[in-house]
Structure 1
Amino acid sequence: MGESVDLKTRGVRIVISVPDGGTAAGVARGTANGRLAVLGGISSLGTAGVVRPFSTASWRAGVERAVAVMAAREERTLVLCAGSGTEKGARRLLPQLPEVCFVEAGDFTGAALRGAVEHGVTQVVFVGTAGRLARLASGVLTTHYTRSKADTDLLAEITRTMGGPDELAARVAEAGAVPHAYELWEGAGLLGRAGRELCRRVAEVVERLTTEAGRTIAAQVVLVDPTGQRMIAMYGRLSR
């Protein structure tokens, strides 16, 4: 700007706008603005509806803000999803809930749960693939962290608990990653039972963590297929 105008001798008025950014039928409808209580202005969050911050702190703040906005709308059921794929599946599974209830927690499940306790949420539904659920079942809230051996050891234990043969449990334990273990369950006809047990363990972790944060929140957990679109198993209880 300084190369075009001598700012010492004259001022400059700058207007930044997004065509149709703030209209009801415009760009803002495709963003996360409404969930973050950004209403009536231009939209600069991206037409995919996904905020891509430059720091983990801002991402976490976005998750916490989304939970706070949901609670301010007097909604009491929070649906946590790992990403946009699982969110689409979750919204098909729970069509009765408004959009504001669905939050892409990403790697910040712990922050989302603490926010849920703080804002009086009574029900948490977590929708995720086997990889995410395996980490949560182990109490690991930074769910992007790679710890495949520990994850598959847990799934091998579940295999045995659900009556799977030792040979299958050994193959699950040695699987290169959770998706391979998932395929082994599916091939052995154990996916439904083992998936429900995985969901049960995640629900236990969620309820324990919320209790430690100050108030137990009823948890439901849904295992979806790798595409995030089809429900495989579910476990949980309704809030009272």
Structure 2
Amino acid sequence: MKKRERGTRKGFTTGANAAAAARAATVGLLSGQVPPEVEALLPNGTRVTFQIHDGQTDGSTTAHAMCIKDAGDDPDCTDKAHLTVDVRLLEGKAGEIVLAGGQGVGRITMRGLGLEVGGPAINPVPRKNIADNVREVGASLLEKHGLEVTISVPDGEERAKKTLNDRLGILGGISILGTTGIVHPYSTAAFRASVVQGIEVAANQGQDTVVLTTGGRTEKFVIAALPELEQACFVQMGDFLGPALDSCVKEGIQHVIIGGMVGKLTKMAQGEIITHANRKAVNTDLLAEIAKGCGAPDAVCTEISAAETARFAAERMEDLGLDSIFYQALAQRTIDTLKKRYPHQLSIRVMVCDFSGQQLADVS
């Protein structure tokens, strides 16, 4: 039997689906009827039409809507999840939008994720995107009142068992994620081929430098930081570091710049050539070793080693005022690791940014 080829059809994140359901529920609260579809705003500024299910409203104080996640051609454990939203009027609380996590949305129990401990596992970009969609359609209501927006995923706790959430201290459900609103099929052979093709295009145009990024935020960061380079130099490699660097060597690219954040860079520094979150956990012992070399006390290094995320290490080093030297040391360790794999074949530069796209280190 011929193996079915997997495609590159994009899907939409849990955050984008939650935002669409929140928008539909808000429309229902205002109009007395939840629409069967809505055109929702994505975090990247584009607009996409989502089908809405199970629309209910009393037309005055509450409304309910649900969106079924379509993960595209690379379905993960949240594919076909029911992103469910209940909107409730907060009388007299003008302009206030309170975001809450309901059944099946994880709760944060540990530092290191950039979210409030005890709060719902709804990441900052989806939080803003949900609020933006609610404000767009609910502006007239928000002039006098507020809205409570509760996100639920009925089977989220069961789905979360297929993730690393429990190790990250996210308990009771899945995370609401997404930086652009779009799911790219990073684990497909087709996407891997597109990474190689992008490097081939740069080489064919006579470029001697390729800038490899792990996602949309890091790509935006390096494009802004490196205006002197042609557009063809920038290749979003996703999790495919090894295939990307192999292709650079094959095509005669001399200079590689890697744009990344602390989590993915730690994976690279520990020698992973495929950096997907589900492949292998972050080596926090390595981070503790780097932290010790930067002057962190033994007690802090022990905390870092026992943690589950790279971001926790970054936060603890920031607490000590050692964050700048820590990021530089992590970038240098990444270069050293890659140089062992590609000796004398590539010059490698690593640029580090945070979750808001601000530069933290630049090492070559």
Aligned mate of 1:127, from 220, 244, 259: 259
5+ residue gaps, structure 2, are 1-179
Q: Deviations over 1:45-95 (max 9, x none)?
A: xxx9x8945961101100000000000000111100000110000111111
Match of 1:223 among 326, 332, 352: 352
When the two chains are superposed, the root-mean-square deviation of aligned CA atoms in Å is 1.9
Q: Secondary structure at the match of 2:283?
A: helix
2:253 partner letter:
V
Where does residue 80 of structure 1 map in the other structure?
212
Q: 1:197 Cα deviation (Å)?
A: 0.8
Matched, 1:138 2:267: no
Aligned residue runs from structure 1 range 131-170, under 5 A: 131-146=263-278, 147-148=280-281, 150-170=282-302
Give 2:18's aligned residue: none
How far residue 161 of structure 1 moved from its aligned partner, in angstroms, is 1.0
Task: Kindly indicate whether residue 236 of structure 2 is the aligned counterpart of residue 104 of structure 1.
Answer: yes
Aligned counterpart, 1:90: 222
Instruction: Give the aligned partner of residue 57 of structure 1.
Output: 189
* Alignment-mate amino acid for residue 236 of structure 2: E
| Distance in 2 between residues matched to 1:102 and 1:139, nearest whole Å | 23
Deviation at 1:226, TM superposition (A): 2.1
Cα shift at 1:98: 1.0
Moved more, 151-160 or 58-67: 151-160
Do structure 1's residue 234 and structure 2's residue 355 form an aligned pair?
A: no
1-side partners of 2:362 and 2:184: how far apart?
A: 30
Check if 1:70 corresponds to 2:198: no
TM-aligned CA deviation for residue 176 of structure 1: 2.9
Name the count of aligned residue pairs.
Answer: 183
- Residue type of the partner of 1:222? M
Tell me how far apart the structure 1 counterparts of residues 186 and 213 of structure 2 sit (CA, whole Å). Answer: 21
Query: Kindly tell me: are residues 186 and 55 of structure 1, through their superposed partners in 2, closer, same or farther at Cα, counting changes over 3 Å?
Result: closer
Give yes or no for contact 1:199–1:222 (8 Å, CA) kept in 2: yes
> Normalising by structure 2, what TM-score?
0.48
Tell me, yes or no, if the aligned pair for 1:208 and 1:216 is still in contact at 8 Å.
Answer: no
Aligned partners of 1:200 and 1:54: how far apart in 2? Answer: 26
Task: Give the secondary structure class of the aligned counterpart of 2:342.
Answer: helix
How many Å apart are 1:168 and its aligned residue? 1.3
* C-alpha displacement of 1:223: 1.4
Runs of 4+ with >3 A deviation: 50-55, 145-148
8 Å contact 2:265–2:331 — kept in the other structure? yes
More strand by percentage = 2
Deviations 1:123-160 (A, max 9, x none): 00001000000000000111113444x52111100011
CA contact (8 A) 1:76 1:121 kept: yes
